[in-house]
Amino acid sequence: MEKVLQVDVTTVRDWVGRIATDLEANKDLLTQLDSAIGDADHGTNMVRGFTAVTAALHDATPGTPGELLVLVGSTLISKVGGASGPLYGTAFRRAGKALGAAPDISAEALGTALAAALEGVQGLGAAAEGDKTMVDALAPAVRAYQQAQAAGASIADAADAAARAAAVGAEATIPLQALKGRASYLGARSVGHQDPGATSTSIVLAALAASLVGSD
Amino acid sequence: MKKLINKPEDVTTEALRGVAAAHSSLVVDVDNKIISRAGGARKGKVGLVSGGGSGHEPLHGGFVGYGMLDAACPGEVFTSPVPDQMLAATKLVDGGAGVLHIVKNYTGDVLNFQMAAELAADDDIEVTPVVVNDDVAVQDSLYTAGRRGTGATVFVEKIAGALAEQDKELKKVADVAREVNERSRSFGVALTACTTPGSGQPGFELPDDEIELGVGIHGEPGRERGKHRTAAKIVDFSLDAIHSDMPLSGDLAVLVNGMGGTPLIELYVVFNEVNRVVKGLGARITRSLVGNYITALDMTGVSITVVRLTPDLTKLWDAPVETPALRWGR
C-alpha cells in the first residue's frame, strides 16, 4: 500500500497541540472527576503542564519525534508536580526514547513506544490493571494497538483501536475500588466514580488517533 | 468563602515573599520556590531537605534553620513540588556529606522526590530518602497507597536535624529519622472541611453535626464519619486507634496539632484529655507540643501524634533549634 502521510515530527507536534486543546476543553470534567475521589486538581494540573509544554515547543525545534516527546516528558516532570507530573512525564520520555533518532514513525515503532510508556508508568507508580489508575486506560490501549498492528492495520487504524480501548478502559474504572494513589484512601467510597487519570489518558490517546487520521 | 488573598494563583508566591520579608534567617528563592538557611551549606554537615504541597504551614518552610531543615521546597497548594526544585535545593544544601530527603508518604511527593534523587545521583550527590508514614487512620495499607505522613514529620525533622548538626554521617542521620518514624503514630479528626484558595469551595462535604474520624491533611477521608461528640470521646477514639497499633508505654512526646482553624484553647482541652488517657495506660508525657504545626489550610480539627521516646531521642529533641516555628535552647 502506498504511504498516504508520513508520521514525522510535524505529526507529533500536531498530536501534542491536540492534547493541549482537548485537555483545556475537558479541564472542568477532569477536575470534577478528581473532586469526587481525589483532591480536585487533575484538570488544573494537566492544563498547567500542557501550557508549559506548548511554551517549550514554541521555543524549541526538536528535529525528530523522539526528541520532541522527550522534551514533552521533561517539561511535564518539571512543571506539573503531584503524581501526574512524574507519571505522564515518564510516559512521554520513555516513548520518545523508544523512538530513538528516527525521522519518522512506523506502525511498529509506535507500538513499541506505547509499550515503553506503559512500562515506565508501571515501573514508577507500581500500579497494576484494576487498581483504578491511568494504567486501566493505557494497558488495554497498548494491547489493542499491538493486536491491530499485528493483524496488518495501518498506523491510523491501530491508533484508533488504542483510543477506543482507552475510552472503554477509563469507563470500566467506574465500578472499581482504587488501590493506588490518593483515591485509595476512600476505600469502598471510591467505587462508582470514573478515574480522572484513566480519563486524561483516554483524552491523550484520542488526540493521537485524531492526529494520525489518514496516515498509513 | 472569604480568604485573605489577592489572586488565588498568586497565593504561594506572595506567601513566599512574605516569608522572605519576615525572616532574615532565611533565604527565599521565590522563582524556584526554595526556602533555605541564610548561612548556606556547612561543609561536612549532612543537608536536610523536605518539601510537599503548600497549605500545611508552618510545615516545611517554618522548620528551616539551625537544628532542623537546611531547605524546604513548597509546591502549589496541596500539590507536591517538582524534581527540579528538589534537585536545586539538594545541590544548595550539600556540604559534601550527602543529603537526607524527608518525604511524607503521598504518591506525588514520593514520585517527585524519587526522580530528584535520581537526578542528584547523576550529579554525584549522595541522597538518602526517608519516608514518613505515621497516620494510623489508613488501616489496610496493602489496599491503599499506604499510611500517610503527618505529625511525625515535625519530630523526624527536629531529631534528624539535631543529629546532623553534630556532623554525624548520612547513614546515622537517616537511621534516626527512620527510628523516629517507626516510633510515631498519628490520628486526625476534622470538624469542618478545608477550602483551597483555587477552588473557593470546601474540599469535601461534612454535615454540621458530623465529624471525619481519621482525616488526612488534605481533607482525605479517614476511617469513618460519625456524629460529633465531646473532646473526651474524640480523644478516646483517636488514642484507641493509636494504642491498638502501637501500644503506648514509657516516656512519650505528644503533639496536639491544630489543622489551621482550631482555637488554641480547644487544643489544650484535647491535650488534657490525651494526658488523662496516657496516664490511664501507665505511660507518661515527658515532652509536648501544642499548636498549629502541620495544618490543612483552614480546616478545624485536630491531629494527635505520639512518639515513644528513648533517652537518646529525648536528648536530640531537647537540642537547640532556631527556626521560625520551633526555637529553644540557643
In this structure, are B111 and B175 located in the same domain? Answer: yes
A129-154 residue pLDDT tens? 999 999 999 999 999 999 999 999 99
Identify the pLDDT of residue A39.
77
Residue A125 and residue B107: Cβ atoms within 8 Å? yes
In this structure, are B146 and B190 located in the same domain? Answer: no
Are the C-beta atoms of B128 and B75 separated by less than 8 Å?
no
Q: Which of B150, B182, B214 is the last residue of a domain?
A: B182
CB proximity A62 to B under 8 Å: no
| pLDDT band, very low/low/confident/very high, at B141 (cuts 50, 70, 90) | low
| pLDDT band, very low/low/confident/very high, at B163 (cuts 50, 70, 90) | very high
CB proximity B216 to A under 8 Å: yes
B96-135 residue pLDDT tens? 999 999 999 999 999 999 999 988 998 999 999 999 999 9
In this structure, are B148 and B282 located in the same domain? Answer: no
**Distance from the B193 Cα atom to the nearest Cα atom in chain A, whole angstroms:** 12
In this structure, are B169 and B33 located in the same domain? Answer: yes
Q: How far apart are CA B4 and CA B14, in angstroms?
A: 12
Q: Which of B131, B155, B182 is the last residue of a domain?
A: B182
Residue A189 has pLDDT above 90, yes or no: no
In this structure, are B212 and B249 located in the same domain? Answer: yes
Q: Which of B154, B182, B210 is the last residue of a domain?
A: B182
CB proximity B58 to A under 8 Å: no
A13-23 residue pLDDT tens? 999 999 999 99
In this structure, are B15 and B130 located in the same domain? Answer: yes
Note the residue count of chain B. Answer: 330
Q: How far apart are CA A207 and CA A200, in angstroms?
A: 11
B5 belongs to a structural domain: no
User: Could you tell me the CA-to-CA distances from B182 to B78, B179, B295, B316 in Å, in that order?
Assistant: 25, 5, 22, 16
CB proximity B148 to A under 8 Å: yes
CB proximity A77 to B under 8 Å: yes
In this structure, are B75 and B124 located in the same domain? Answer: yes
B257 belongs to a structural domain: yes
Handedness of CA B242, B243, B247, B251 (dihedral sign): positive
Q: How far apart are CA B17 and CA B28, in angstroms?
A: 8
In this structure, are B216 and B177 located in the same domain? Answer: no
Amino acid identity of residue A109, one-letter, is A
Residue B111 and residue A125: Cβ atoms within 8 Å? yes
Which domains, ranges and CATH numbers included, belong to chain A?
9-212 (1.25.40.340)
CATH number, position B227: 3.30.1180.20
DSSP annotation of B45: S
B329 belongs to a structural domain: no
CA angle B169, B325, B61 (to 5 degrees): 65
B320 belongs to a structural domain: no
**Distance from the A65 Cα atom to the nearest Cα atom in chain B, whole angstroms:** 24
Q: How far apart are CA B36 and CA A110, in angstroms?
A: 44
B324 belongs to a structural domain: no
Residue B197 has pLDDT above 90, yes or no: no
Identify the pLDDT of residue B142.
63
B316 belongs to a structural domain: no
In this structure, are B31 and B167 located in the same domain? Answer: yes
| Closest alpha carbon to A70 in A101, A46, A108 | A101
DSSP annotation of B310: -
CATH number, position B89: 3.40.50.10440
* Contacting B residues, span 88-147, partner chain A, CB-CB under 8 Å: 106-108, 111-112, 114-115, 138, 140, 143-145
Amino acid identity of residue A143, one-letter, is R
Q: How far apart are CA B239 and CA B232, in angstroms?
A: 11
**Residue B212 main-chain phi, psi, to 5 deg:** -105, 115
pLDDT mean over B202-213: 88
Q: How far apart are CA A33 and CA A54, in angstroms?
A: 25
| Closest alpha carbon to B42 in B96, B91, B101 | B96
Residue A42 has pLDDT above 70, yes or no: yes
**Among A185, A186, A191, the residue to mutate for chain B (most B Cβ within 10 A):** A185
Helix (H, G, I), strand (E, B) or coil at B287: strand
In this structure, are B188 and B177 located in the same domain? Answer: no
| Closest alpha carbon to A154 in A209, A94, A102, A99 | A209
Instruction: Please list the residues that pair with B74 across neighbouring strands.
Output: B52
End-to-end CA distance of chain B: 41
Q: How far apart are CA B63 and CA B327, in angstroms?
A: 9
For residue B114, the chain A residues in CB contact (below 8 A) are: 86, 124
As for how many domains chain B has, the answer is 2
Identify the pLDDT of residue A2.
46
In this structure, are B196 and B104 located in the same domain? Answer: no
Identify the pLDDT of residue A4.
55
Lowest mean pLDDT among A60-69, B140-149, B219-228: B140-149
B4 belongs to a structural domain: no
| Closest alpha carbon to B82 in B152, B32, B18 | B32
B27-83 residue pLDDT tens? 999 999 999 999 999 999 999 999 999 999 999 999 999 999 999 999 999 889 999
Residue B153 has pLDDT above 80, yes or no: yes
Question: Quick one: A36 exposed, middle or buried, by C-beta within 10 A (0-12, 13-18, 19+)?
Answer: middle
**Residue B185 main-chain phi, psi, to 5 deg:** -140, 145
| Bridging pattern class, strands B184-190 and B224-227 | unpaired
Range of the domain at B46: 11-182
In this structure, are B32 and B173 located in the same domain? Answer: yes
B1 belongs to a structural domain: no
Cell numbers placing A180:
493506588
